[in-house]
Chains A and B, each alone.
Chain A
Amino acid sequence: GQNIDQPTEMTATEGAIVQINCTYQTSGFNGLFWYQQHAGEAPTFLSYNVLDGLEEKGRFSSFLSRSKGYSYLLLKELQMKDSASYLCAGLDSNYQLIWGAGTKLIIKP
């Protein structure tokens, strides 16, 4: 079956760094997405990895290892506005997104 696993909740301190992990099992693989979702709002795109390695985009970076079925999202210099859920999603062989349940990130002052 297809499955995306990520931690349910994480807590971090303002100004610090946090890494959110995601493991995936999909039927075929065409890339890994990360989305941010504030409570009650729509998910918004953060990153897309299809090749192994690290993609950096400002304070956010995303890493992919296809051999390990593993990705992480790295958030640096955390701000209070980063408090949100972070959704990991794998794109399967039919180009359908398989979504994880999301990781709720709580930022404390």
Chain B
Amino acid sequence: DADVTQTPRNRITKTGKRIMLECSQTKGHDRMYWYRQDPGLGLRLIYYSFDVKDINKGEISDGYSVSRQAQAKFSLSLESAIPNQTALYFCATSGGLFYNEQFFGPGTRLTVL
């Protein structure tokens, strides 16, 4: 079984719709991250959380919000989707002895029409 899972894996939606991307992990890690990846650009950090009560904005948080429902769950919401939010979204976790190494989920491909 995968240690970091993301749902849905693919989503097509329309401009203005609210979308939630979910991430779950069984690694027992405290830290969780949301990134987006666009062709020709590096991974860009949207939000990160070091524990359930700690949520921080990343480089590109505008237009996004997050919820850390439990240690194992971290959700990303697009309140009103727009076409330039079309991207590949990754959730990642880190923790344990080698807490700087990040483990990635399989990604969610989001298309906003």
Contact B100 A45 (CB under 8 A): no
Interface size class of A (residues with CB under 8 A): 20 to 34
| A48 on the B face (CB < 8 A) | yes
Contact A4 B107 (CB under 8 A): no
Q: Give the complex CA separation of A91 and B99 in angstroms.
A: 12
Q: Give the complex CA separation of A98 and B59 in angstroms.
A: 10
How many chain B residues touch A (Cβ–Cβ < 8 Å)? Answer: 19
Q: With both chains docked as a complex, state the minimum distance between the C-beta of A87 and any C-beta of chain B, in angstroms.
A: 7
Return the CB mask of A91-103 against B: 1 if under 8 Å, else 0. Answer: 1000111111110
Q: Give the complex CA separation of A8 and B98 in angstroms.
A: 29
Contact A41 B42 (CB under 8 A): no
Contact A30 B104 (CB under 8 A): no
Contact B100 A87 (CB under 8 A): no
Contact B103 A45 (CB under 8 A): yes
Contact A99 B100 (CB under 8 A): no
Residue of A nearest to B33 (CB): A97
Residue of A nearest to B42 (CB): A99
B-side contacts of A48, CB under 8 Å: 98, 100-101
B-side contacts of A42, CB under 8 Å: 90, 104-107
Q: With both chains docked as a complex, state the minimum distance between the C-beta of B106 and any C-beta of chain A, in angstroms.
A: 5
Residue of A nearest to B35 (CB): A99
| A13 on the B face (CB < 8 A) | no
Interfacial residues, chain B to chain A (CB-CB below 8 A)? 40-45, 48, 58, 88, 90, 98, 100-107
Interfacial residues, chain A to chain B (CB-CB below 8 A)? 4, 8, 30-31, 33, 40-45, 48, 87, 89, 91, 95-102
